[in-house]
Amino acid sequence: MLVNEKVAIEHGLKSDEYKKICKLLKRTPNITELGIFSAMWNEHCSYKSSRIHLKKLHTKGKKVIQGPGENAGVIDIEDGDAIVFKIESHNHPSFIEPYQGAATGVGGIMRDVFTMGARPIANLNSIHFGSPQHKKTKNLLRGVVHGIGGYGNCMGVPTIAGQTSFDSSYNGNILVNAMTLGLVKKDKIFYSKAAGLNKPVIYVGSKTGRDGIHGASMASASFDEKIEEKKPTVQVGDPFTEKLLLEACLELMSGDSIIAIQDMGAAGLTSSSIEMASKGNLGIEINLNKVPCRETKMTPYEIMLSESQERMLIVLESGKEEIAKKIFDKWNLDFAVIGKTTNTKNIELFFDNKQVANIPVNTLVENSPMYDRKWKKSKLPKKNKIDKTKLRNLKIKDTLRKILSSPNVCSKEWIWQQYDHTVMGDTIQKPGGDSGVVRVHKTDKAIAATVDSSATYCWAHPLTGGKQVVCETWRNLISVGAKPIAVTNCLNFGSPEKEENMGEFVECVQGISEACKYLDYPVVSGNVSFYNQTKDIGIKPTPAIGGVGLIKDYNKMITMDFKEIDNIVLVIGKTEGHIDQSLLSRIILNEKNGPPPEVNLFNEKNNGLTLLNLIEKNFIKSAHDVSLGGIITAIIKMCIKGNKGIQIKKPKFLINEIEYFFAEDQGRYLIEINPKDFKEVTKILDKNSVHYDEIGKIIDKDMIIDQKTKLTIDELKSYNTNWFKGYMV
């Protein structure tokens, strides 16, 4: 096939990008080479619109062993142990084919983690759908949940936490972000940097088929009405093969055969071979006739661009081929020596004894395009004047019912019961809490993990929203008694070619960076997903943050369920009554505008660390962070989980009751303490200048707000659980 500018544009390249390729090569590329360029230079693989801004992220810290740039980030959890983790998007494929899209998203992120030598110990996910009334939502939700479960359950890795939201901005573009944590010994981490000349390059895992060709390019474009035609670009997953691949790789990794290893994810054999060569500053030579193929007559172009799943590329020590082959034979996986490392610094491909591609590696990586796109700064919206009489006239009971049964607050048990969350026998906090917690096998340590996003806040003011999401995950970790260590981010945005969307991206990143820096909570891995838009309509900016923390003694883990009658409940952190962008404002007052709650990083850090100190001293019986739906929603969740009630002490505040209960001010937690510890606890809070209110006392089975307002826990529970069951019938 003849290559010209038109063919290049059909490959998703821009006209000037094509010219740049010809200039770099000093000739016209052939079709295989063009395919390789298009795969490496698309947004998904090259980060061409985001790179310049991602550099600003805070990525350093004492606990960071590996920051962004590898298959996943790595943090130190002491005693020679390390946690490898990352979050990744699989948005576009999941919208086209929800089951396979979500399943291969989970498969891909697990491969990223075990590529580094770590055994996956927990999965999480952040999934976002259009309005529940939209005709596609129900099927997409069902398909995505089945896909996530289908893959993760089969792998035998527990899915311990997640987040689900509904918003009409996702009607044409759902989000599926999958996160995996793995455990590895600090001195047994594997990297993707090739080293040494004439070392054998090995292909292992599934055979290569025609599935997923141009998957990464598809993920780098907006959707239009021809979306259904893109179904063949969605990969098909086989978790069984991945389970075998996991066991085989870990078995090989226990020896000393591997120099470098890289999974074949987006852009398959192309990106994996080029990344290994690029990092090692080497060349690589591949004989494509040696690649195990599922179908006959596959062309070099197809072999290089296939995104068939469950494959790995390994650079072995010379002479270790037999040892390695034996292991992969045992697990019934394909094993083939397909090439070697060279000193040419080029990627050279051969097929039927002919050279079919020869490209300098640096033209694909270092010389890939980088754009400083135009972006628009967002102004902080003006506060709404809230009609106080309207607020005063709201009936607490009705308001609560509406909030608790709203799709974004209600219990997500329907979802997480379909995920195996207990396999591996170390899950000590299941989904439905503030963070999922797994023990570090056979130790007293435990790892807490959470994933969060707040699209509404980010949409209202990206800078504040970016900070807020980081803080929310920080609070989720503190609430279970974990010391937050680091985060991974999945940055889901609309088209970077639109100034508003690019502005949302830039300012969210800035917010994330500021918060991470202040909290000493660095970003160690992540991924960017642009072009989440159909025609001209983009999603609300949705950076999803996955936070990871350490609990040194798992016996000190905290859960949110109320524990004992007569215990006292305090609110930590000050309630100013911020209603704009709250759930109350959006679903009860029907007000969409206004600024998100302000994030005060000093308070956030101070309140969080003080609470950790109280937990360390064994004063805290239960804890829960205050987020969507405010104090009252948080209290009710604690009541429901603990099957206990509360006698609420009427707050003596200037702001009215509704504002106090439903405001979404940041930096707040609810804690349960024993009355005998009250003095000691409040002394510590005072000493650290942490504001607190006494909100109530735990009683049996009822929530009593005042003499007129009394609700049974069963009633509240039914509000909270019925929506989902009714919706998914």
Contacts with another protein by CB under 8 A lie at 146, 149-150, 153-156, 238-241, 243-244, 331-332, 416-428, 439, 554-555
**Rg of the chain in Å (alpha carbons):** 26
What minimum distance in Å lies between the beta carbon of 698 and another protein? 23
Exposure string (b/e) for 9-18, b if CB count within 10 Å is 16 or more?
eebbbeeebb
Collapsed DSSP state (helix, strand, coil) of residue 65: strand
**Residue 224 or 444 with smaller CB distance to another protein:** 444
What minimum distance in Å lies between the beta carbon of 153 and another protein? 6
Q: Tell me how far apart the alpha carbons of residues 188 and 81 are, in angstroms, rounded to a whole number.
A: 10
What minimum distance in Å lies between the beta carbon of 569 and another protein? 25
**Residue 423 or 537 with smaller CB distance to another protein:** 423
Q: Which of the residues 44, 58, 578, 624 is marked catalytic? A: 44
What's the gap between Cα 599 and its chain centre?
Answer: 22
Q: How many CA atoms does the CB half-sphere of 476 hold within 13 Å?
A: 31
Alpha-carbon distances of 213 from 43, 68, 226, 265, 570, rounded to whole Å: 16, 26, 17, 12, 56
Alpha helices in 26-86 (DSSP H): 31-41, 43-46, 51-54
**Residue 240 or 602 with smaller CB distance to another protein:** 240
What minimum distance in Å lies between the beta carbon of 155 and another protein? 7
Q: Tell me how far apart the alpha carbons of residues 638 and 570 are, in angstroms, rounded to a whole number.
A: 13
What's the gap between Cα 141 and its chain centre?
Answer: 17
Query: Within 10 Å of residue 107's Cβ, how many Cβ atoms?
Result: 31
Mark whether 90 is an active-site residue. yes
**Residue 190 or 331 with smaller CB distance to another protein:** 331
Q: Which of the residues 11, 53, 58, 90 is marked catalytic? A: 90
**Residue 325 or 710 with smaller CB distance to another protein:** 325
Query: Within 10 Å of residue 401's Cβ, how many Cβ atoms?
Result: 17
What minimum distance in Å lies between the beta carbon of 634 and another protein? 24
Amino acid at 284: I
| Phi–psi pair at 412, nearest 5 degrees | -105, 25
Residue 529's contacts (CB-CB under 8 Å, 6 or more residues apart) are 44, 89, 91, 92, 175, 219, 490, 491, 492, 493
**Residue 252 or 519 with smaller CB distance to another protein:** 252
Mark whether 53 is an active-site residue. no
Bridge partners of 699? 645
Handedness of CA 562, 567, 572, 576 (dihedral sign): positive
What minimum distance in Å lies between the beta carbon of 251 and another protein? 12
Alpha-carbon distances of 186 from 118, 351, 720, rounded to whole Å: 10, 40, 43
What minimum distance in Å lies between the beta carbon of 156 and another protein? 3
**Residue 206 or 476 with smaller CB distance to another protein:** 206
Q: Residue written as tokens 């006959």?
A: 296
Q: Tell me how far apart the alpha carbons of residues 190 and 188 are, in angstroms, rounded to a whole number.
A: 6
Handedness of CA 394, 397, 398, 399 (dihedral sign): positive
**Residue 185 or 441 with smaller CB distance to another protein:** 441
**Residue 181 or 349 with smaller CB distance to another protein:** 181
What minimum distance in Å lies between the beta carbon of 165 and another protein? 21
Residue 252's contacts (CB-CB under 8 Å, 6 or more residues apart) are 258, 314, 323, 324, 327, 328
- DSSP one-letter string for 690-725: --EEEEEEEESSEEESSSS-EEEHHHHHHHHHHHHH
Judging by DSSP bridges, how do beta strands 537-538 and 542-551 pair with one another? unpaired
Q: Tell me how far apart the alpha carbons of residues 636 and 714 are, in angstroms, rounded to a whole number.
A: 11
Q: How many helices (H) and strands (E) does the chain have?
A: 26, 28
Q: Which residues are catalytic?
A: 44, 90
